Structure 1
Amino acid sequence: MAEAGMAESIRRGMADCSPAERKVARVLLSAYPSAGFETVARLAERASVSGPTVLRFVQRLGYKGFPDFQEALRRDLDERSASPLRIHQSQGPRDGDSGTLRDRAAAISQRTLQQTFAEVSTHDLDRCVELISTASGSVLVAGGRYSGLLGRVLAQHLEQLRPRVRVLPEAPSARAALVEDLGRRDVLVLFDFRRYEEHTQRLAKAARARHASVVLFTDIWLSPIASDADVVLTSETAAPSPFDALTPILALVETVVAGCFDRLGDAAVERMSRADRAANDLGLY
C-alpha cells in the first residue's frame, strides 16, 4: 500500500500542530510543491513565523531536518507524475504473485478499500454530503480522462435525488457559460488524480473566484486543487494492474450518494417517484 503523499500528510498533520506550525502548513499547501523547495528563512518569512518553527514543523512530520524533508518532497514529485508504464517498471515482485489472478486481485482491492475508508475524514465526508444536499443553486461535476467517468456516475445518481445537477459539458461555449454563472449558491465537484490536469485546476480557480464551493475527489498525493477546495476526499491507488485503482473512488462516490439520500430524506424519495412517473409517461422503461 502506498504511503500518503507529502501534501496529504501535511494536511492530515495540521490537527496536531501549534497555530504557528499550521501557518507553515498552509503556505506549503497553497504553493505546493514549490514552497517546499525554498530556504527555511524564505518559508518562515512567507508564513510569518520563525525559522525554528519551520524546523519543528518538518520534524513533527517525521523528518530529521529540512534537507530530509526536501529529499522526500523530490521523491513525492516522482510519484505524483508517475505514468502506468513507469509504475509497472518500478514495481518489484508483489506479494501473492504466485496465486491466481482472482486471489491476487481480491487481496489488493480489499486492502485498498480498507485503507481508503480508514483514512478518509469523517468531517470531510459529512461536509461533502451537506454541501451537495443543501446547495440552493446548481451542482456541477467535472473530471479528467478517466476520472470523468466516475464524475458522470455521481451526477447520474444525484440528479435522481435533487434538481439542477449537471456534468460540465465538453463544448467550450456551453462550459464557459455554466462556469460564468457559478455563484455562492453553487457547488463544483471535481475529480483530479495524479498527472493532474491543468484544465481541471483552472475550473477550481474559476469557481473560487466566483465564490462557489468546491468539492475534490483526489488521490493520496493530493491534487493542486486541494488548496482551493472546501472539501477533499482522498483514495488509495493500489491495483492489480499498473493503472491506478478506480474501485475506491467509486466506493467513496457511492458513500456520498448514500449520505445525500439520507440527508435529503422525503424530498429525494418524492423526486424519485416523480421521475419514475415521468419515465413511465415517456415509455422509457
Structure 2
Amino acid sequence: MSVLTPDPVLRLLERAAAHCGPGAARLHAVLAADFPAVLSRRPAQLLRAADANAEDLDQLLAMAGFADTEDLRACAARETGRRLPVPDQRIADREGEPGDRTALRRILAREQENLAGTLDALHANGALELAARAVVAGRRRWVFGDMKSIGYAALVAADLSAALRDVTLVQPGVGAAVTALADAGDQDVLITFSFRSYSRHTVRVAREFHALGGTVVAITDGYDSPVCAYATHVLAVNTRSESRTHSPTAVTATGHLLASLAAAGAKGAARRAQRRQALTWALSDGEGTTPADPPERTAP
C-alpha cells in the first residue's frame, strides 16, 4: 500500500498564491527566494519586503492550509529537518537605525496581563456588576473625562446612548461642568475616568456630583486615586505600560463592558437600539451607515 506524501510547503503556497491577489503573489515570491531561512523574519518584515498587507498574508496562509506563520514555520521545519529560529521580536525606533529597541513580545505580554488581570478582578469582586446596576437605575447618566480620558468618555457615552435614554457626555471645561452639575440631581449617575497624572478638574467634578447626592462610578488606576474619595463604585484598572503614558487597553475594555452590562440590564434596550438604527437609515436616505437589515419602505 502506497503512502501519500504531503505536498511541499512551497508548492502549497504557490498554489494558494494563484488563487489570491497580487499581494499574496508577492509574498510567495519573497518566501520562495530564501526558503526556509526567510521564516526567521517577523511577519511585518515579510509584508514590507513584499509590499503587501496583513490581509494578503492571512489569505495566503488560509488558502494554503496554514493557521498562521507559526504553523507555517513548524511545517517547514519538519519538512526540511532544520531547526528554524524564532523571529527576533524587536522593533527599531526608526527603520535601519540602531539605538533603543522595544521588545514586541514584552509589550504584548504586558497588555494581555493588564486586560486579563483587570477583568478577573472586576469579575471576582463584583464591582462591574454593581456599577452597571447603578447606571441602569440612574435617572440620568453623565459621562466625563479630562485630558486623555476625553476619548474614553466619548466611547462609553456612545455605547450607553445606543441602549439607554438620558445619557450626556460632559465636555471638558468649567462651563460645561457647571451646566451639567446645575442640571444633575441626586438620582443621577456620573461615570468618570481618572488616571495619573490625576486631573484636578475631574476630581472637583466628582466631588460636586457626590455633594449633590448622586452616584459616582470611577474608572481609575487604583483605590488610592484621588477621585475614589467621592466614588460610590470604583472600577480599578491595570494601566501599566512599557511607554511613558498609561496603557488604554484595559480601560477601553472596562468602559465597553460597563456599557454592555448596563444595556443588557435595561428594559427596552434592544428596541431602542433597533429604533436608532432605523432612524439612522431613514435620515441618511440609504447613505452612510447601513444596518444589517434595512427597514422596508412602503410606496408613497
TM range (shorter): 0.5 to 0.7
Q: How many residues align?
A: 186
SS of corresponding position for 1:272: helix
Q: Is the 8 A contact 2:159 2:260 kept in 1?
A: no
SS of corresponding position for 2:150: helix
1:154 aligned residue: 156
Correspondence 1:111-126 to 2 at 5 A: 111-120=113-122, 122-126=125-129
Q: 1:135 aligns with which of 138, 143, 146?
A: 138
SS of corresponding position for 2:239: coil
SS of corresponding position for 2:126: helix
SS of corresponding position for 2:153: helix
Correspondence 1:40-119 to 2 at 5 A: 99-100=89-90, 101-119=103-121
Q: Is the 8 A contact 1:143 1:191 kept in 2?
A: yes
CA distance in 2, matches of 1:108, 1:209: 38
CA distance in 2, matches of 1:133, 1:236: 25
Identity of aligned residues (%): 24
1:188 aligned residue: 190
Q: Deviations over 1:86-107 (max 9, x none)?
A: xxxxxxxxxxxx7434322211
SS of corresponding position for 2:184: coil
The TM-score, its normalising length taken from structure 1, stands at 0.61
* RMSD after superposition: 1.8
CA distance in 1, matches of 2:178, 2:166: 17
Q: Deviations over 1:226-274 (max 9, x none)?
A: 1111000011122232221110111111211221122125x11100111
Change in Cα spacing, 1:162 to 1:235, as seen in structure 2 (3 Å) is same
CA distance in 1, matches of 2:164, 2:186: 18
Q: Is the 8 A contact 2:136 2:265 kept in 1?
A: yes
CA distance in 1, matches of 2:116, 2:154: 24
Q: Which amino acid aligns with 2:118?
A: T
CA distance in 2, matches of 1:198, 1:238: 21
The TM-score, its normalising length taken from structure 2, stands at 0.58
CA distance in 2, matches of 1:188, 1:269: 23
Q: Is the 8 A contact 2:186 2:212 kept in 1?
A: yes
1:224 aligned residue: 226
Correspondence 1:257-268 to 2 at 5 A: 257-264=259-266, 267-268=268-269
> Alpha-carbon deviation of 1:171?
5.5
The runs of at least 4 consecutive aligned structure 1 residues that moved more than 4 Å come to none
CA distance in 1, matches of 2:211, 2:177: 16
SS of corresponding position for 1:238: coil
CA distance in 1, matches of 2:227, 2:172: 20
2:280 aligned residue: 279
CA distance in 2, matches of 1:104, 1:234: 23
Higher helix share: 1
Q: Which amino acid aligns with 1:193?
A: F
Q: Is the 8 A contact 1:139 1:166 kept in 2?
A: yes
1:234 aligned residue: 236
Q: Which amino acid aligns with 2:259?
A: V
Q: Deviations over 1:64-107 (max 9, x none)?
A: xxxxxxxxxxxxxxxxxxxxxxxxxxxxxxxxxx7434322211
Q: Which runs of 5+ in 1 are unaligned?
A: 1-97
Q: Which amino acid aligns with 1:238?
A: R
SS of corresponding position for 1:180: helix
Q: Which runs of 5+ in 2 are unaligned?
A: 1-87, 91-102, 290-300
Q: Which amino acid aligns with 2:119?
A: F
